[in-house]
Structure 1
């Protein structure tokens, strides 16, 4: 456990409007002070979103960026799996205590991340999932990262909550444009109209971290 009063508390997270008082963790806590990029999106990840992640994650891992996501099904899960598949490091910010695996997966993905990356939570270790935990944890996902990437999102979704938090904290928000006929690109396209950076290449992400190493 790390508290807001500890020197080890992540500096970027300390800057947000409501930093968690305590962070419980399993894994390599030092990752929170490495250059991190938050990547979130729809639970109903489409082949388009899968292709974006499969193409871009190797570039981010190669640049030694730590990916941050929320361990939900769909985009979050693909971010964590894709990062580890390329021997990268990833942080999962969860909506339960660190001793609770949710959602349950046969391959125990949460355990894998705790061994190869970092599991992070503001909730007591034994705390079960609750509906309000998931929008709450989004501020931590965005708060740990200099830039937040939205891969796919419906017009109203948790990913847009994360994007709005990042904007409120003066962080960079990037959105992957998608077909105007796709409901799962409606949210990202709306973000771009509202001023988010249209993201068409991983080089744009890397450019935000030129002075981070």
Structure 2
């Protein structure tokens, strides 16, 4: 059950390891939502406002199970009885970061955890750069909630654009470091994410 969208990307993973509901890979409508690990209250509010509508329109969320934006995306999706996929940069038998142990266990039961790394593989820095292509590859569109300049979220957005996938970014204050990356994306031509309809028009 190798996902069709992921098969289309450059250097698609040869093998995927999983825990959870594999049928989620057959869902044709998925949206990647990524952002800053050091999330602000603005980012938190944006996610909590966005996710109920995403779930109501039967979109599967995809993120990276990192602290901050990623974790809240998974939590909010599950809290709204939605479907979520977490792509991790280590073996399935390892929890990283440790603070997400309970969340990872919940996703294994109610959603899907994916990794291209075998059991025992440590969370090395380059693994997270590599897993970003999978996050972008599984989704029709990628949304960036908060991001600093040169952040991993911008790498995910760049990979999505390379694969001709839609990218959206939530605009923020010019005085916030966490909005520098998203505002930069918008200045470069990325669609601003102002309301739920922006997402739906790019995905449905």
Q: Deviation digits for residues 81-131 of structure 1, max 9, x if unmatched?
A: 010011111000000111111111276111110100000000002211111
Structure 1 residue ranges (4+ consecutive) displaced by more than 4 angstroms after TM superposition: none
Aligned mates of 2:69, 2:54 — CA distance in 1? 16
Alignment of 1:61-140 (within 5 A): 61-105=55-99, 108-140=102-134
Q: How large is the RMSD of aligned CA atoms in angstroms? A: 1.0
Who is 1:5 aligned against?
A: none
Match of 1:31 in 2: 24
Distance in 2 (CA, whole Å) between partners of 1:17 and 1:124 is 21
Once residues 100 and 163 of structure 2 are traced to their aligned partners in structure 1, the CA distance between those partners, rounded to angstroms, is 37
Which residue pairs with 1:55 in the alignment?
Answer: 49
Structure 2: how far apart are the matches of 1:106 and 1:144? 22
Aligned residues of 2:71 and 2:100 also touching (Cα < 8 A): no
Q: Establish whether residue 175 from structure 1 lines up as the match of residue 175 from structure 2.
A: no
- Paired with 2:190 and 2:23, the residues of 1 have a C-alpha distance of 30
Higher helix share: 2
Partner SS for 1:95: coil
Which residue of 2 is the match for residue 4 of structure 1? Answer: none
Distance 2:23 2:187 in 1: 36
TM-score, reference length from structure 1:
0.93
Cα distance, 1:133 vs. partner?
Answer: 0.4
Deviations 1:186-207 (A, max 9, x none): 0000001111111100111112
Which one of the candidate residues 176, 180, 197 is aligned to 1:186?
A: 180
TM-score (norm 2): 0.97
Structure 1: gaps spanning 5 or more residues: 1-7
* Alignment length (residue pairs): 203
**1: distance between equivalents of 2:31 and 2:196?**
11
Q: Can you give the 5+ residue segments of structure 2 that lack an aligned partner in the other structure?
A: none
In the alignment, the residues of structure 1 paired with residue 5 and residue 62 of structure 2 have an alpha-carbon distance, to the nearest angstrom, of 13
